[in-house]
Structure 1
């Protein structure tokens, strides 16, 4: 076997303990650059051996350079993924007389004490746990991280696309300063459309930047059709050959019908079903159990024990169905899975690729996914997504712009970490990382001091009384997470936690007993402890309701996927198998939208009631940008959607021409709803105008809005 520069003892175990006759292409390609200390992003389809591609070279470096203490951090976005990876990394490190350990929010206090007493060589953790270790009075972070040499970021695209990515980069810059050396950064990902940009993002500030490269052998020499591989991502979104895989699209019309289809098909097989909401997971789980199907559930509001039952089903059960939100989308080892089923459509092509990659891992099997659309909109969304997928297009991973609230959080966290920070020295901790530049951060520092979040004395900054009041609960643990979770009540049967539910289910008016649906079962509420946010229940037969209110803006269609839906309505079919039900429903949908799409541009339609709509098919963020820009002709206060914008009823073609002339150079940021500001964690630590500016920038899609404004517009009056 060709293995480059791997440690001989490690190589012995790869051959004799694992029984591998050769390394996979990614693993082979990663050896030399990682052993040499380069930064890298490793790309491969799901189950492509990315963990080993990173671990084997880094363990070789560890031995050859005689690293001591905790020298490698393995960072993941999900605790479940860390739990899944720990046995493998414990095995690999033990071959070389080294150790690996796990530290996240569910790690018991005793295990943490053992880690602090005898530092493992590899620590598996989350960014939030790293932050907690840096600010904790119980952890000597200078000593603990003094040996840090390398960081592996698994599912790096999941970080880069939201604020957890900015938080991770900021924490890594602080860790480098604590360690006193630049730290090698290795990202693992299966689905990105812009890998070079992702590598640049991962490398952070650029201070002491190492050589870096994208390692993706499957993009250079892709598998032959029929191998069940994912299509090569294409940043430009250009067309390619139809990707391989058994993909089917069906229209079932309701969740009841979806349960009937799932129960009837593929009996004896292990099936993983993805839903786009926790409520659908619960309702489908209850319906399948009523049909006698062995069913497991996984979503973020279930207790740890309930989630672990679903994860264990991957490895142990056979004839069963596992229903999940995106919690089981990322790289948890799914074992011998037979089928993937998708209810309606996921939010992105990248998400679909992750889910598709759960299947087809047995030799001789193909990757597969059965889409079950619950209504015509779900069918259209799935068809549009599959059309973009068939063209080889994957969303580029783009970091959210202007993360000023993360700057505020990091300034407070740094003052907790160091107790006191020089008022002119704090910038050095982030080495000029994008949002931490002087022009962005100094107004935030002034606001934090003015509002009492920070105190200033003798040229030093330290935690102030307002930060103590807002974030000091439980030793400032609320300061370590950069996302806001809506308040929920813990649901208990006796002392056993089942999960958490939305408080609105406990306060809404109703006749008769109050019943909840959680973990796929119905429960009757027996007592509510309002002060401690606890709800006690007993099992009942049916009648339970499930409900959660999501934080932030919820799902919003992108410009590319909404335009793909328009292409489907104009007659373009995704090159997948479609059932007769799906074909008939798609035909009805095309007839319904016949006068709302046109191949030559957009349409402004006045219906018989006088209402005027501009059918842009531009996506949510582009429509929000257009509505803000064209305020004089747009109906104020409307709810923005992906497909159309409500216009004033007295609008004429001449007025439209005058208003939109040269408007592509005068685009405006969308207005911000006050309720949205409450979903931006640490927004209260920003001047209001900066908090609003942050959200406005994130709601906008200037490029797509400008493109739509250049398209021809037709005015139509609907006569029927």
Structure 2
């Protein structure tokens, strides 16, 4: 029988006909992802069927958390961008190029008609236009604005095709031999990051000898054995807060609500045995011996993205030399102190909890402007605001983290501690 192997392709709603079963490697990162993938099967009057290939007990725990959440209709909310300044710049450029020259009033009227831009703070457009004019992205002749040299240099190639989308990268290059035979297509980001050696395409090994960006074309010749370096355009954002909080509820309950087979229940019990007794809500901190000093562990159940923010803030408050590792569920402070490591982490997290959102943002490193396709055209203040609101999601982070009780507990196998 036929088999289709893919990453997120099926999740995107591409209908390829009848699927008997969806096989998931590991746990889905979100409840919505699980529902989308399971929904690819069970078409035309049949029940959906999904199987999981799990590597260890933690995969099993995460899968039970995902399925429990789905059964209780707990799904990740859709959060639209509140400060889409990247889109705002793109629309300013498109409108200017479309008319070849335009006025401030026409620009503001056009931008105000776009639903996604109607809730921006007052004077946003005026501040942006002033910045674009100062940076030579726009030039003015009286009341008329026209594309400037900086705008043409960054976005004007191939008849302004870079203005068609706010997605950076993307696109494909045709790979042809010197004789003009089409070999296949390469991701534009792979072409831009090419290094030494050969690569595999269409079941054969090739070496890239020349690229023509103006025509999205690369010339390749037969190469030696392809190297082991893989090019992957995806990323690992970690598990969603909904899944992480479901894991906490399972651990606090001491069991899953799903009807597992005895073998799976035994595996799950083994994973839970390595965790202290915890509450269904809150952060739990304990300490264990490290290599030289005591390590501190904080089970947050916030998500990888939130724990990344929290680890950065903790290092800024406690000192840049402080080492902090994080994953989806926890923070780990190795060799923190000879004694009182847990108390020190509790104090740090308490300090973060009382910080206003703007002070939290000040502790975080600003992403490079190139993170966004039109970031180089934005003023620094709007870049930071966009990062705080739509990249770091600080408002949602504050809502999840700042009201959580924090418990200092004993290491696994000892009785639960008290809230501090």
Q: TM-score w.r.t. structure 2 length?
A: 0.78
- The 1:719/1:508 distance shift into structure 2, 3 A limit, reads farther
* Residue deviations 1:434-475 (CA, integer Å, cap 9, x gap): 355542222111111110111111111111111111111111
Question: What SS does the corresponding residue of 2:317 show, helix, strand or coil?
Answer: coil
The match for 1:575 is 258
Question: What SS does the corresponding residue of 1:569 show, helix, strand or coil?
Answer: helix
Whether 1:644 and 2:326 are equivalent positions in the alignment is: no
Whether 1:632 and 2:317 are equivalent positions in the alignment is: yes
The match for 1:507 is 195
Whether 1:611 and 2:295 are equivalent positions in the alignment is: yes
Contact 2:91 2:111 in 1 (8 A): no
The match for 1:251 is none
The match for 1:653 is 343
Contact 1:343 1:373 in 2 (8 A): yes
One of 667, 673, 685 as aligned partner of 2:377: 685
Question: What is the deviation of 1:418?
Answer: 1.5
Contact 1:629 1:666 in 2 (8 A): no
Whether 1:485 and 2:169 are equivalent positions in the alignment is: yes
One of 76, 79, 82 as aligned partner of 1:401: 82
Q: Please give the alpha-carbon distance, in whole angstroms, between the structure 1 residues aligned to 2:55 and 2:192.
A: 26
Q: Please give the alpha-carbon distance, in whole angstroms, between the structure 2 residues aligned to 1:403 and 1:483.
A: 13
Contact 1:420 1:460 in 2 (8 A): yes
* Residue deviations 1:183-207 (CA, integer Å, cap 9, x gap): xxxxxxxxxxxxxxxxxxxxxxxxx
Question: What SS does the corresponding residue of 1:360 show, helix, strand or coil?
Answer: coil
Whether 1:496 and 2:178 are equivalent positions in the alignment is: no
* Residue deviations 1:80-117 (CA, integer Å, cap 9, x gap): xxxxxxxxxxxxxxxxxxxxxxxxxxxxxxxxxxxxxx
Q: Please give the alpha-carbon distance, in whole angstroms, between the structure 2 residues aligned to 1:481 and 1:454.
A: 19
The match for 1:340 is 22
The match for 1:322 is 4
Contact 1:569 1:589 in 2 (8 A): no
Question: What SS does the corresponding residue of 2:289 show, helix, strand or coil?
Answer: coil
One of 465, 472, 486 as aligned partner of 2:149: 465
Whether 1:420 and 2:86 are equivalent positions in the alignment is: no
Question: What SS does the corresponding residue of 2:62 show, helix, strand or coil?
Answer: helix
Q: Please give the alpha-carbon distance, in whole angstroms, between the structure 2 residues aligned to 1:579 and 1:642.
A: 27
- The 1:485/1:347 distance shift into structure 2, 3 A limit, reads farther
Q: Please give the alpha-carbon distance, in whole angstroms, between the structure 1 residues aligned to 2:365 and 2:348.
A: 29
Question: What is the deviation of 1:555?
Answer: 1.6
One of 395, 399, 402 as aligned partner of 1:702: 395
Whether 1:548 and 2:228 are equivalent positions in the alignment is: no
* Residue deviations 1:521-563 (CA, integer Å, cap 9, x gap): 4x323x32244473636699x9774623447x74233222111
Q: Please give the alpha-carbon distance, in whole angstroms, between the structure 2 residues aligned to 1:602 and 1:385.
A: 21
Whether 1:441 and 2:134 are equivalent positions in the alignment is: no
Q: Please give the alpha-carbon distance, in whole angstroms, between the structure 2 residues aligned to 1:673 and 1:370.
A: 41
Residue range with higher mean Cα deviation, 494-503 or 426-435: 494-503
Q: Please give the alpha-carbon distance, in whole angstroms, between the structure 2 residues aligned to 1:438 and 1:666.
A: 23
Which residues of structure 1 form unaligned runs of 5+? 1-318
- The 1:554/1:466 distance shift into structure 2, 3 A limit, reads farther
* Residues 666-677 of structure 1 mapped to structure 2, 5 A cutoff: 666-667=356-357, 668-669=360-361, 672-673=364-365, 677=369
Q: Please give the alpha-carbon distance, in whole angstroms, between the structure 1 residues aligned to 2:361 and 2:406.
A: 23
The match for 1:391 is 72
The match for 1:474 is 158
Q: Please give the alpha-carbon distance, in whole angstroms, between the structure 1 residues aligned to 2:183 and 2:49.
A: 37
The match for 2:43 is 361
Question: What is the deviation of 1:583?
Answer: 4.2
- The 1:409/1:637 distance shift into structure 2, 3 A limit, reads farther
- The 1:621/1:702 distance shift into structure 2, 3 A limit, reads farther
RMSD: 3.7
Q: Please give the alpha-carbon distance, in whole angstroms, between the structure 1 residues aligned to 2:343 and 2:277.
A: 17
Contact 1:604 1:714 in 2 (8 A): yes
Contact 1:420 1:462 in 2 (8 A): yes
Contact 1:484 1:681 in 2 (8 A): yes
Which residues of structure 2 form unaligned runs of 5+? 414-420
Aligned length: 389
Question: What SS does the corresponding residue of 1:430 show, helix, strand or coil?
Answer: helix
* Residues 269-308 of structure 1 mapped to structure 2, 5 A cutoff: none
Question: What SS does the corresponding residue of 1:507 show, helix, strand or coil?
Answer: coil
Question: What SS does the corresponding residue of 2:123 show, helix, strand or coil?
Answer: helix
* Residue deviations 1:45-67 (CA, integer Å, cap 9, x gap): xxxxxxxxxxxxxxxxxxxxxxx
Q: Please give the alpha-carbon distance, in whole angstroms, between the structure 1 residues aligned to 2:352 and 2:367.
A: 33
Question: What SS does the corresponding residue of 2:5 show, helix, strand or coil?
Answer: strand
Question: What is the deviation of 1:709?
Answer: 3.8
Question: What is the deviation of 1:616?
Answer: 0.8
Q: Please give the alpha-carbon distance, in whole angstroms, between the structure 2 residues aligned to 1:505 and 1:596.
A: 48
Question: What is the deviation of 1:591?
Answer: 2.9
Q: TM-score w.r.t. structure 1 length?
A: 0.48
Higher relative contact order (CA 8 A, sep 6+): 2
* Residues 60-75 of structure 1 mapped to structure 2, 5 A cutoff: none
Contact 1:449 1:455 in 2 (8 A): yes
Q: Please give the alpha-carbon distance, in whole angstroms, between the structure 2 residues aligned to 1:377 and 1:491.
A: 42
Question: What SS does the corresponding residue of 1:326 show, helix, strand or coil?
Answer: coil
The match for 1:11 is none
Question: What is the deviation of 1:505?
Answer: 8.9
